Amino acid sequence: MASVTHQEIEGAGGVRLHAAVAGNSGRLMLFLHGFPEFWRAWENQMAEFSRDHRTVALDLRGYNLSDKPPAVESYAIQNIVADVRHVLRALSPEEPAILVGHDWGGIVGWALAREHPELLHRLVVINAPHPVLFYRELKNNVAQRIASSYAGFFQLHRVPEATLSAFDFAALRKVVFGTSAKPRMFSNELRQAYHDAWSQPHALTSGLNYYRNLRALKWLLREPPPWTIPVPTLALWGDQDPALLRSNLHGLGAFVPRLTVRRHPTATHWIVHEEPDWVNENIREFLEHG
């Protein structure tokens, strides 16, 4: 793991965001995690890219050591995008940055690239659907609606918290760490770090509040501006993702003229953990030649 320092950065509305930083030279490379993770989801990428970039991995608002505003509306996607915009302008005011996002972090990446492409040099999204195509899939693809049904459960009041925290976060441990038959490579120390992040006061509710604001995603579908993404973009996809089907990639080039797609046939939604070398190699190739 790269040598990491920690700092607080102000997001939108004075929200304090925790950031892990590695490397002190080169273009800023900002990493955004999804649910139910935190900054250490990116430690393999930070070890690789801190050699020639200034790498920063955020705890998004509501997660781990970042502030957790109590209002459900605080976790609407436009507020998360505003947080990231503040971070980029604070950390890289003179040159556009590289943004890498997975899951919710990738959704934020799509939105930021639409709203403020001038802030980005390159965009990497990992198993995170383009909002227009995801809306298409939810509307027209029964399989995607079934695969996304968990999101409806996450919007219930209190029940998801009780379910996900039961038996010492057994459900979250199964989702992130895998099963005994198909374990993912997590050290005991890293497993404990995830447990500690989930145990932070109000962290689980804050993470679920992203789903409780799904209606706010309509903000992403409004016009104008158009949904064409001018930023050179790499989409990495684990084809065995049970929640986000690979059909979300169909037609992506119509919205992203400078697009590179790389698919892994056996990886799942958790491709960053399952295939870290593959992820790093493809990002490296994209940054050098994309």
Q: What mean pLDDT is reported for the chain?
A: 95
What domains does the chain contain, in order, with CATH numbers? 5-289 (3.40.50.1820)
| Res 218 pLDDT > 80 | no
For residues 192-216, average pLDDT: 95
Output DSSP code: residue 267.
-
Supply the pLDDT for residue 225. 62
Which residues are catalytic, by number? 103, 211, 269
pLDDT classification of 251: cutoffs 50, 70, 90? very high
Among left, alpha and beta (phi > 0; psi -120 to 50; other), residue 236 is beta
Measured at the CA of 104, the angle between CA 212 and CA 217, to 5 degrees, comes to 50
Supply the pLDDT for residue 146. 97
pLDDT digits 0-9 by tens, 107-127: 999 999 999 999 999 999 999
Supply the pLDDT for residue 223. 60
| Res 169 pLDDT > 90 | yes
Determine the Cα–Cα distance for residues 248 and 259; give it in Å rounded to an integer. 14
For residues 166-173, average pLDDT: 97
Burial label, 105 (beta-carbon count in 10 A; 0-12, 13-18, 19+): buried
Is the preceding peptide bond at 225 cis, omega within 30 degrees of 0? yes
Range with lowest mean pLDDT among 34-48, 93-107, 208-222: 208-222
Supply the pLDDT for residue 179. 84
For residue 41, the number of C-alpha atoms closer than 13 Å in the C-beta half-sphere is 30
| Res 92 pLDDT > 90 | yes
